[in-house]
Structure 1
């Protein structure tokens, strides 16, 4: 029995060991770099030789600029860097304050509470030549950390001692326009941070905060500072586990937010709209600590990262350039004598200049990539118009959110969204009939609003099916048309619902006026429009296998005989039109290509527009008179 128990324990130990090895390899080797490791190539060489061989394979760009900035400018620990809208460098430093093992209690409370804030400017602005041209930020901060400048020129800052995030506008530097978190109070709820590290701001004003040292999470906010979503955790083995998310950068052309996960030695990228994990970037040459990351869309997309020292590890402390498409290291950079404790990195949008901050020694480095400038000069010499950047699609890299969005609508989600839209249009038509008979149309307004909402949700929640790297994408014009008709249909439905509700609230007239007055003519016209829209959809849907003449003839006969001449059958015709729309969608089998690229898209857009016009005609004829019911209108508008 004892030997059996020992055997079982040995098996368990082997399983655990194998799982640990498998996890480590899977995490570290995200994108293989040929020749850098494996295949027993370096078995006979020392680790130092491996590192040297790996560095020799990389381009040593960008190049270090000596004596930059002005050496007479005194700085403390440099924690953050940012570029303003004019291309000037902002340096966020701690002056005489130092973060060491005595700065915080074990519960992350700042030990200097009661002392005055830093009395000298903590934000220094340098021009391209390294000359100090401005400074501010005195008597505001205790332990500065992250700095970001958005497109409006607002400066966003984090202070780990105060556990707060600040926003300063260009015309107000003494008082922040927005403050998040409670001063000196650490926490992990929606109102508190614990040593927040970084901020990234989107072009629409939404922004992200890395609540890094204690809470290991990323939060997304609206421009007003309201939480939209958050993700991240401290324990586990999946891609949402952070160990100090230390810096953030946005790749808006790819719809991604990337975080420097410091103690896991990786750059983790997520979709900026919903926080879905996209992919990791990591390398054995970078090591197990990665302090900061910056993104540039230049040359198809680049990440600039800086690592940090770790014990006696022989991995050099340097800056590295990662090709976003392939995930491979393409370049490395460092000043003469190397980096010691880099803390932040920032790059210009064209990748022509890169800046690195160090907290020990207290200094800032500038690097310039002449190859990018030369390539830009050649491009401008050959092309008369301003060139636009292109992004290559690789099977080893995730698509941007915009690319995935378009592919999903064309190759997968379009069918589901069209089916949902057809069903909801039928329900809307039925609701209009019931509302017409009961002299109430509030239900119709609600269903039209639901139809618009369902169409948008079906459009946005589709399963994204990535094409292979060798597939050829359709023309951008067709992509724009197909994407536009869905949004136009949803917008028209929502406007129709709003118009219905407004008209519904303005008037109460007798049933007699509805049946024998102008309402009768409007109802007949609306029924004809809806039936014609259904017929157009049916004809466009049937072009892939030839017309279904039996159903079309039946529908045409009802339109000619009953809709235009006999009002008593209006209700039946509306129901028949909706039914034909559903049957045409579900029973007619043609190729997906004909539905997507033929007349189907145009017919569907026309049907949505005609339905909105029909609903508007109905409500105008139905209603004349009383003041608006503001409560329900406000609810629908919101």
Structure 2
């Protein structure tokens, strides 16, 4: 039965590929086929590598619920738009902010060229390490390096990965952060990877696997995910036919290595989508299972995602007066939202989310008001 299903999947891919790529007909056709094919693949008799049921993480039966930590930080932070937060090995939140610089309609032209590069880089420190108990600034750096900060990820070795949408680049800094150890993209040059060159276009986020592989959300223009090896060699572009996946501003990333998924905050498609990360094999199968897709009427524009076990915690942003701005707890295996949460006074414009390595605390940042929230992760008995 499985070989027949694979042949069916390949045939469907060929049919969809024959439809003009930008047509509304293709979107509707893909959606219908996508649902039918997922139903076929979901049958346990057709899944060869499914883990035993008893080994599945039970977090989803009683998922930790974020509870706001009152009066944190103890003192206001002198920051601009806080675009990203991540956690280092000491459990300290590390934030990326824009100081006095903002992103508005004058920042880029129609060709994605940054219009204020003559102003030079931001002269204030843009990366701050905070005390997890008080929120006070422990250390800071980054002055004179960045033009328009966006994404920040701290890996397990405390390397800091940063994206700058103005420069169209991704940078890896060691804990000493004097010079980047690795740079992806070319300075102020947007484009699409080709002929051995890595060109990016306003990259938004980075996720680092325990294997060292690098995932980059590339981003506002290219609408794709790029997978690199640890040295920065391009391994894969997502999506690529016959994948049933169309991204529109992939804005955040979270790796669920146990499930071999990379979950994407697919912002303008108003969903979370989790294609296979391809970490369990040296090559990606063109007959891989369709991505898990979480979409609901109240999900809105999803700005960021974070992983905790086999769960995804997500935040949306302003979408419409009918859709509240809040957080979501998602089980990608069942493709459902299992909880909603928010602080007592509500969110305004959240932009990033991070969870501590031990799963005890969560941080959410906003870009207006320029604020960081701390939540304790509570399991109800």
Instruction: Work out whether residues 88 and 128 of structure 1, in 8 Å CA contact, stay in contact via their aligned partners in 2.
Output: yes
In structure 1, distance between residues paired with 2:362 and 2:353: 7
TM-score calculated relative to the size of structure 1: 0.48
What is the match of residue 304 of structure 2? Answer: 292
Q: Which of 303, 314, 323 is equivalent to 1:305?
A: 314
In structure 2, distance between residues paired with 1:154 and 1:59: 30
Q: Residues 25, 228 of structure 1: CA spacing in aligned structure 2 closer, same or farther, 3 A cutoff?
A: closer
Q: Residues 20, 191 of structure 1: CA spacing in aligned structure 2 closer, same or farther, 3 A cutoff?
A: closer
In structure 2, distance between residues paired with 1:222 and 1:272: 13
- 1:91-150 deviation line (CA, Å, top 9, x unaligned): 111010000100001110000122221111101111221222111111100100001111
Question: Which protein, 1 or 2, shows the higher relative CO under an 8 Å CA cutoff with sep ≥ 6?
Answer: 2
Q: Residues 64, 252 of structure 1: CA spacing in aligned structure 2 closer, same or farther, 3 A cutoff?
A: same
Instruction: Work out whether residues 167 and 187 of structure 2, in 8 Å CA contact, stay in contact via their aligned partners in 1.
Output: yes
Q: Residues 284, 24 of structure 1: CA spacing in aligned structure 2 closer, same or farther, 3 A cutoff?
A: farther
SS at match of 1:114: helix
What is the match of residue 183 of structure 1? Answer: 187
In our comparison, the structure showing a higher alpha carbon Rg is: 1
Q: Residues 339, 238 of structure 1: CA spacing in aligned structure 2 closer, same or farther, 3 A cutoff?
A: farther
What is the match of residue 94 of structure 1? Answer: 98
What is the match of residue 199 of structure 1? Answer: 206
SS at match of 2:268: helix
Matched, 1:348 2:353: no
What is the match of residue 329 of structure 2? Answer: 321
SS at match of 1:271: coil
Q: Residues 162, 116 of structure 1: CA spacing in aligned structure 2 closer, same or farther, 3 A cutoff?
A: same
In structure 1, distance between residues paired with 2:242 and 2:213: 29
SS at match of 1:62: strand
Q: Which of 271, 291, 310 is equivalent to 1:278?
A: 291
**Cα deviation, residue 23, structure 1:** 3.9
Instruction: Work out whether residues 95 and 118 of structure 1, in 8 Å CA contact, stay in contact via their aligned partners in 2.
Output: yes
- 1:159-179 deviation line (CA, Å, top 9, x unaligned): 0000000000112x1311111
Instruction: Work out whether residues 296 and 350 of structure 1, in 8 Å CA contact, stay in contact via their aligned partners in 2.
Output: no
Instruction: Within 5 Å, give how 1:197-276 maps onto structure 2.
Output: 197-232=204-239, 239-273=244-278, 274=284, 276=288
Instruction: Work out whether residues 60 and 333 of structure 1, in 8 Å CA contact, stay in contact via their aligned partners in 2.
Output: no
Hey, which of these two has a bigger chunk of helix by percent?
A: 1
Instruction: Work out whether residues 64 and 378 of structure 2, in 8 Å CA contact, stay in contact via their aligned partners in 1.
Output: no
**For structure 1, which runs of at least 5 residues remain unmatched after alignment?**
1-15, 32-57, 376-638
- 1:414-458 deviation line (CA, Å, top 9, x unaligned): xxxxxxxxxxxxxxxxxxxxxxxxxxxxxxxxxxxxxxxxxxxxx
**Cα deviation, residue 295, structure 1:** 0.6
After superposition, the CA RMSD in angstroms is: 2.7
Instruction: Within 5 Å, give how 1:456-605 maps onto structure 2.
Output: none
- 1:220-247 deviation line (CA, Å, top 9, x unaligned): 11111111111237xx997321001111
SS at match of 2:275: strand
Q: Residues 73, 262 of structure 1: CA spacing in aligned structure 2 closer, same or farther, 3 A cutoff?
A: same
**Cα deviation, residue 87, structure 1:** 1.2
In structure 1, distance between residues paired with 2:362 and 2:96: 16
Instruction: Work out whether residues 266 and 273 of structure 2, in 8 Å CA contact, stay in contact via their aligned partners in 1.
Output: yes
In structure 2, distance between residues paired with 1:25 and 1:77: 41
Q: Residues 72, 337 of structure 1: CA spacing in aligned structure 2 closer, same or farther, 3 A cutoff?
A: closer
Aligned residues: 322
What is the match of residue 367 of structure 2? Answer: 359
Q: Residues 177, 237 of structure 1: CA spacing in aligned structure 2 closer, same or farther, 3 A cutoff?
A: closer
More displaced 10-residue stretch of structure 1: 157-166 or 217-226: 217-226
**Cα deviation, residue 350, structure 1:** 3.9
In structure 2, distance between residues paired with 1:315 and 1:367: 22
Q: Which of 129, 132, 135 is equivalent to 1:128?
A: 132
In structure 1, distance between residues paired with 2:242 and 2:249: 15
Matched, 1:108 2:116: no
In structure 2, distance between residues paired with 1:231 and 1:331: 29
Instruction: Within 5 Å, give how 1:601-616 maps onto structure 2.
Output: none
In structure 1, distance between residues paired with 2:246 and 2:30: 17
SS at match of 1:263: helix
In structure 2, distance between residues paired with 1:22 and 1:168: 41
**Cα deviation, residue 24, structure 1:** 8.4
Q: Residues 86, 60 of structure 1: CA spacing in aligned structure 2 closer, same or farther, 3 A cutoff?
A: closer
In structure 1, distance between residues paired with 2:202 and 2:346: 29
TM-score calculated relative to the size of structure 2: 0.78
Instruction: Work out whether residues 62 and 332 of structure 1, in 8 Å CA contact, stay in contact via their aligned partners in 2.
Output: no
In structure 2, distance between residues paired with 1:25 and 1:103: 40
